[in-house]
Chains A and B, each alone.
Chain A
């Protein structure tokens, strides 16, 4: 059996197992083990435990359970209510103000932590229930958090950009700087879309007769300046926490994972000391939510690596990339197909795995066609962000599923679709106007 047939069979088996309803983690692992048994030397089976461990043996991943803990702790208090209540009072005149506040929250949080699932967990854990309470559809609420969360790997610091920079041997500093404007622009576009979508949902709520919760959207409210200001003191603990995390991160006190640890501990202390959450009943909820969500994500990450290992061993990914480079294509046609390849791989694989396997193969082609590697790194990262929210394997979708189990996978998938389109269009914009990414690094690194 050739590599091409093996690749098709691998994809088909994965789809069948995923749609069987088997948990994602076991489905990915199961396909990997089955192919190991059939197509690979038997010794590989012995290596499975070490392969799983080698993926989790990563300090950077530690940020994920820590931010989940932080989100779960804050989620148990009135803090989220305070924050969104205040944001609502300040932004109620802006249609979709709460949604926009969430997008901005994701963006600010993303600027602190290099992980997209962690951003999703931290903001979504508080934001999704509040938005739904105010009548946002489940699809929109979860979609904007899932998409907003992906900004974690675009807005610096970003682990993904570091890995890309090391493989391609370009300046990580320049890559970071290049990610800023696209990150801000994507935040803006997401915000505009939320405003538009909320108008649409309002119209729909007006015309529909059913007493659905979306009627909440139509409630007319108004707040005086006094009512706005009086919410601010209640935000103080929150602001202290954010400042603490920011200072620890940018003040040179700690690495991203350490910041996550400090932030989570501070959040726990705050929750116990200020909000008085100390009864076993409340603590239990925090513990159980943290254990379940982080276990779910980490087991998927470990199994996805096993899945990736088999794909790499059978040379499926590399062959696909090599074949593409070998075709005689014009500059832009080549770039188009590279993006399609990344998109398709993104359906199934996590970003880091794709970068590790694909960039060494496609980079010679990218450089030969005269593309700037810094600019391409940003385009690649946005494409990787897409992978985080495309089914069947999209880490952010699973995080949302974890924090809001009553929202169906289907609703989430439909909810992120508009954001997927925005990001796809943004890749086109980036291709037509490379300076969107390159202006800032060119300005700051004039001397080279």
Chain B
């Protein structure tokens, strides 16, 4: 008997070998599970939000109407405040540190919180992001002063505002136009989106995540507990194993994307900058006083969660 599992994500669709790595990760996962279950489990992949809109994917899994999703967990920040820690500025310092969350207390706690809502984490995926700007590069916090900026994420916005940026909330599909028309002076987003939105056609400067970045987002591959429980123990084992086996691919590809930003923007005529440790520490100081502080105050156990995250080496 075969069972069809639907995987939804919001990123551009491609093939197993080409395109956005988050889409490729889903396809690789599907192919491998299909092979190892001898076709008992089949998959339908819905890219670019063609089944459920990006923000609604978590609830859909939680209620059991969607099986799986590769989903930026911080999108659920309005419903599960704890998840805001997965897009906390300057909290994560490298991909390796992010990967270490999985087995650390912070990872266990995050797993528990998500499972309480009926969702399981299969693959731990992090992606860094960079900053595009029109007139001058943004490397240290002082650079963002007075600039109309889109932060993509509640905690990021709080930090950028504390640095003196004028936070402009406009939808993601307007970022390109916004830069062109001058509604925006700069924007922060994932390396993948920096390239796929082709912002180098409008931006003169980019600060990549090759060295340091204050922007790391957790976008795990998730499965609905209802779906997971409907699998046989053998299938469950395969799904978990294949999920975990995707993590090294994710890190390698995310790093490639950070490099790709530099290449694409240089080719597009923009000036490429990097953020060094000293600049990163300046951001971190501001983040601690703004976004971290507000998280610690407003979220139950917020302080404890931040401490857990900081203790990961």
Chain A interface (Cβ < 8 Å from any Cβ of B): 40-41, 43-44, 46-47, 50-51, 54-55, 57-60, 157, 159, 162-163, 165-173, 249-256, 309, 312-313, 315, 318, 356-357, 360, 364
| Chain B positions 165 through 194: 1 when the CB is less than 8 Å from some CB of chain A, otherwise 0 | 000001101101110111100000000000
**Chain A positions within 8 Å of B64 at CB level:** 41, 43
Whether the pair A47, B12 counts as a contact (CB closer than 8 A) is no
Q: How far is the CA of A221 from the CA of B183 in the complex (A)?
A: 48
The verdict on A162 contacting B176 (CB below 8 Å), with A41-B65, A58-B171 known, is yes
Whether the pair A51, B56 counts as a contact (CB closer than 8 A) is yes
**Chain A positions within 8 Å of B178 at CB level:** 255
Name the interface residues of B210-229: CB closer than 8 Å to any CB of A.
226
Q: How far is the CA of A360 from the CA of B308 in the complex (A)?
A: 41
The residue of chain A having its C-beta at the shortest distance from the C-beta of B168 within the complex is A255
Q: Taking the complex as formed, is B135 at the interface, i.e. its CB lies under 8 A from any CB of chain A?
A: no
The verdict on A250 contacting B181 (CB below 8 Å), with A50-B56, A54-B53, A356-B50 known, is yes
Q: Taking the complex as formed, is B80 at the interface, i.e. its CB lies under 8 A from any CB of chain A?
A: no
Q: Taking the complex as formed, is B137 at the interface, i.e. its CB lies under 8 A from any CB of chain A?
A: no
The verdict on A163 contacting B46 (CB below 8 Å), with A41-B65, A47-B60, A169-B196 known, is no
Using A57-B53, A170-B198, A312-B46 as known contacts, list a sample of 17 further A-B pairs with CB atoms less than 8 Å apart, ordered by residue number in A.
Answer: A40-B65, A41-B64, A50-B59, A54-B52, A59-B170, A162-B176, A169-B198, A172-B201, A173-B198, A252-B181, A253-B181, A313-B51, A315-B44, A356-B48, A360-B12, A360-B47, A360-B48
Whether the pair B65, A44 counts as a contact (CB closer than 8 A) is yes
Q: Supply 14 A–B pairs (Cβ within 8 Å), ascending by A.
A: A41-B65, A43-B64, A43-B65, A43-B226, A54-B55, A58-B171, A59-B170, A59-B174, A162-B176, A166-B48, A167-B48, A169-B19, A252-B182, A356-B50
Q: How far is the CA of A248 from the CA of B198 in the complex (A)?
A: 24
The residue of chain A having its C-beta at the shortest distance from the C-beta of B267 within the complex is A448
**Chain A positions within 8 Å of B15 at CB level:** 364
**Chain B positions within 8 Å of A163 at CB level:** 173
**Chain A positions within 8 Å of B46 at CB level:** 312, 318
In this complex, which of B47, B63, B177, B196 has the most chain A Cβ atoms within 10 angstroms of its Cβ? B177
Q: How far is the CA of A318 from the CA of B47 in the complex (A)?
A: 11
Q: What distance in Å separates the Cβ of A313 from its nearest Cβ neighbour in chain B?
A: 6
Q: How far is the CA of A253 from the CA of B178 in the complex (A)?
A: 9
Whether the pair B170, A255 counts as a contact (CB closer than 8 A) is yes
Q: How large is the interface on B (under 10, 10 to 19, 20 to 34, 35 or more residues)?
A: 35 or more
The verdict on A312 contacting B176 (CB below 8 Å), with A47-B63, A360-B13 known, is no
Q: Taking the complex as formed, is B49 at the interface, i.e. its CB lies under 8 A from any CB of chain A?
A: yes
Instruction: Among A40, A50, A169, A312, point to the contact of B50 (Cβ < 8 A).
Output: A312
Q: Taking the complex as formed, is B197 at the interface, i.e. its CB lies under 8 A from any CB of chain A?
A: yes
Whether the pair B198, A167 counts as a contact (CB closer than 8 A) is no
**Chain B positions within 8 Å of A43 at CB level:** 63-65, 226
The verdict on A172 contacting B198 (CB below 8 Å), with A60-B174, A255-B170 known, is yes
Q: What distance in Å separates the Cβ of A162 from its nearest Cβ neighbour in chain B?
A: 5
Instruction: Among B6, B19, B53, B183, point to the contact of A254 (Cβ < 8 A).
Output: B183
Q: What distance in Å separates the Cβ of B272 from its nearest Cβ neighbour in chain A?
A: 18
The residue of chain A having its C-beta at the shortest distance from the C-beta of B169 within the complex is A59
Whether the pair A318, B13 counts as a contact (CB closer than 8 A) is no
Q: How far is the CA of A140 from the CA of B282 in the complex (A)?
A: 65
Q: What distance in Å separates the Cβ of A446 from its nearest Cβ neighbour in chain B?
A: 13
Q: How far is the CA of A40 from the CA of B6 in the complex (A)?
A: 13
5 closest Cβ pairs, A-B complex: A252-B182, A360-B13, A54-B53, A252-B181, A43-B65
**Chain B positions within 8 Å of A309 at CB level:** 51-52
**Chain A positions within 8 Å of B51 at CB level:** 309, 312-313
